Chain A
Amino acid sequence: MSIEVRTAAPGPRPPQPDPTDPRPRPQPGQARHSGWSISDRVGLAAAWACGIALCVAAASIVGFMAWKGVQYLQLEMLTSSPEASMDQSKSGGFLDPLVGTLLLTVIGIAIAIPVGVGIAVWLTEYGRPAGLARLVESGVEVVAGTPSIVLAIFGLLVFQQTFMGIFSFTAEGGSVFGRSFLTAGSMMALIALPLVIGSTREALNSIPRHVREASYALGKDKASTIRRVLLPSARSGIATGATLGMGRICGDTAIVVVLLGASMQTTPESGPLGLLRGTGSTLTSYVYNNSPSGEGNAPEKAYAAAFVLLMIVLLLNFAVGLIGKRNKPQWN
């Protein structure tokens, strides 16, 4: 057989160079951008520079915080409560803010997951009447776009109503304090909610229609199809949204300052669920209160706490990547 036989499928001819074109022709091996105009080249260079600048910024955040963190972080800071003292060596650690961060995150996400998954399921699987669905969608967008300080002030307004007294504590005169882990947690849920809804919807939408139909074709109704097929299939999407949401909750300061009291130590109320009805602080408010930018003057502890916070959030982001890759059912 002749080796000159062409086996490639006949396709459109590649564009041939125009011999009358005065511009210099790109030679093989020459840079692929050689025909580009000056402004294109500048644009490309700027895009490159921006990308690299971002990398530098990210690396310096992590690097700087790690350097400061390793320098100042001591194990006893993680195990001792903050104390009121002007002397940095006597002002204790940040056990309470650390626990506060974890507790507030758990409360917020525990509210956001069921509500968010419910809304996402309703929007993707029912979505009727269409007008109501559109209204819900814009509601989600409004919540997502509201600055957290506005959510915090709004939350204070709501939870200071007399009948909301069970969520915080009622003073002798009958005025409701409005600040507690529960009230802050429910506003934190609003911060996480759009993320949970978004990634759950995305996961549900990526399930092919014929998978739902296969369940209906086995005599199942919509409710059990959602429960037994769709939600398990969307599990990794839900987990991704929840993890993103937890990252946002960990990092929020405004709601903590306004609605959690940002007290130095966790101060539970009496009675059952006293801890949840009491005030406290998180790593964000601790950093704020101890940094020179705030009212505090314990920058070393602020750096150490900020480093711990950064590690928590980076860990959550890492988890998002891990969850996204695994457990996602693939139909062709």
Chain B
Amino acid sequence: MELKEETPQDVNTPPAEVPPLRRIVVESETVPIRVGDYAGPPDPEYGREPWQLQAGLDGEPVWVEERMRTEDLSIAYGEKLAVKGVDLEVNSGEVLALIGPSGCGKTTLLRSLNRLVELTPAAKRTGRIILDDQDVDGFDVTQLRSRVGMLFQQPNPFPMSIFDNVAYGLRERGSKKPRRKQLEPIVVDALERAGLWDEVSSNLNHPALALSGGQQQRLCIARSLAVSPEVLLLDEPCSALDPISTGIIEETIVELRTEVAIVIVTHNLQQAARVADRVAFMYLGDMVEYGPAGQVFGDPREERTREYVGGGFG
């Protein structure tokens, strides 16, 4: 079957087969997480030892390193505590899935990582959030948000051309306006990494809102990638999409994790199992369990995790 974006008639006929993913749950359980046995020199860019390495897609080692960390993070909406004293690590080279029942604070936690939660006047945050050893409160918020990108549940390209959408975050950064020529390589690269380039290369000037839902969501990924974030936050990115688009996006996520630390909120446990290296289970604002995906799904330590995860895997 050829992989193509859904056309109106495709939407009504369910896809005959879901495109194969490169990794499935069984595989992610058996991917060896080799701690500290990397033979090569420390990456000069980071100037410190990697704390662990794990096999990437093709068995190549993937650099895994802490990017973000929360310390005793609590968020309250007025009187109501939505997140209660959460300690969480977000590593580059990994996909972290946040799972848990509705209303347990996943979105709130995610939105606090790029300080988007500050837009809600009632929200109060205590505890620390660290990005690359610096407290995010010390960052200029625009700078923080270009380092910690976010994708939303509904695809939301801006009403402008495909090119301008991807270039949106790059413009107005300095005092000089970058020209289209200068932006083009970055835009093309972002579209390629988001797996959209082949479909839109000939119509970069078409309006973005004319794309299909799945293409729009990948355009939003490209838009985030263009400002080269270190962390990408995804809040139920596939819940508005059909199975084929979901498959393509999951594949993109798995590929991207070698360059960007990814946190994905999902209600779909199969999806979490397909894409995640590490899983955090939340319940009523508490971080109940945090560990490698294989362990959380295969052998949860906590009873509540077992109940929740058990429901998803029969």
Assuming the contacts A217-B145, A219-B146, A219-B169, asked whether A232 and B116 have C-beta atoms less than 8 A apart, the reply is no
**Stretch from B4-12, B149-157, B249-257, B306-314 forming part of the interface with A:** B149-157
Q: Could you say which of B145, B169, B213 contacts A332, with CB atoms under 8 Å apart?
A: B213
Assess whether A216 is in contact with B145, with CB atoms less than 8 Å apart. yes
Tell me the minimal C-beta distance from B308 to chain A in angstroms.
Answer: 27
Assess whether A218 is in contact with B119, with CB atoms less than 8 Å apart. no
Q: Could you say which of A214, A221, A233 contacts B152, with CB atoms under 8 Å apart?
A: A214
Assuming the contacts A228-B168, A232-B159, asked whether A219 and B143 have C-beta atoms less than 8 A apart, the reply is yes
Assuming the contacts A210-B153, A232-B160, A331-B156, asked whether A218 and B116 have C-beta atoms less than 8 A apart, the reply is no
User: What separation, in Å, do the CA atoms of A215 and B146 have in the docked complex?
Assistant: 10
Chain A residue with Cβ nearest B209:
A329
B-side contacts of A224, CB under 8 Å:
172
- The answer to whether B92 has its CB under 8 Å from any CB of chain A is no
User: What separation, in Å, do the CA atoms of A102 and B159 have in the docked complex?
Assistant: 32
Q: Could you say which of A219, A221, A232, A332 contacts B227, with CB atoms under 8 Å apart?
A: A219
Assess whether A218 is in contact with B224, with CB atoms less than 8 Å apart. yes
A199-228 CB contacts (< 8 Å) to partner B: 208, 210-211, 213-221, 224, 228
Assess whether B142 is in contact with A219, with CB atoms less than 8 Å apart. yes
Assess whether B146 is in contact with A218, with CB atoms less than 8 Å apart. yes
Assess whether B223 is in contact with A218, with CB atoms less than 8 Å apart. yes
- The answer to whether B240 has its CB under 8 Å from any CB of chain A is yes
Most chain B CB atoms below 10 A, which of A211, A218, A233: A218
Assuming the contacts A213-B116, A332-B213, asked whether A218 and B156 have C-beta atoms less than 8 A apart, the reply is no
User: What separation, in Å, do the CA atoms of A87 and B203 have in the docked complex?
Assistant: 64
Tell me the minimal C-beta distance from A208 to chain B in angstroms.
Answer: 7
Assess whether B145 is in contact with A219, with CB atoms less than 8 Å apart. yes
Identify the 7 closest CB pairs spanning chains A and B, nearest first: A219-B146, A329-B159, A218-B169, A217-B150, A219-B142, A219-B145, A210-B152
B binding-site residues for A, Cβ under 8 Å: 114, 116, 119, 142-146, 149-150, 152-156, 158-160, 168-169, 171-172, 209, 213, 220, 223-224, 227, 240
Q: List 22 A-B contacts (CB under 8 A).
A: A210-B152, A213-B119, A214-B156, A214-B220, A214-B223, A215-B168, A216-B116, A217-B145, A217-B149, A217-B224, A218-B146, A218-B224, A219-B144, A219-B146, A219-B227, A220-B142, A220-B172, A228-B171, A229-B159, A233-B159, A331-B209, A332-B240
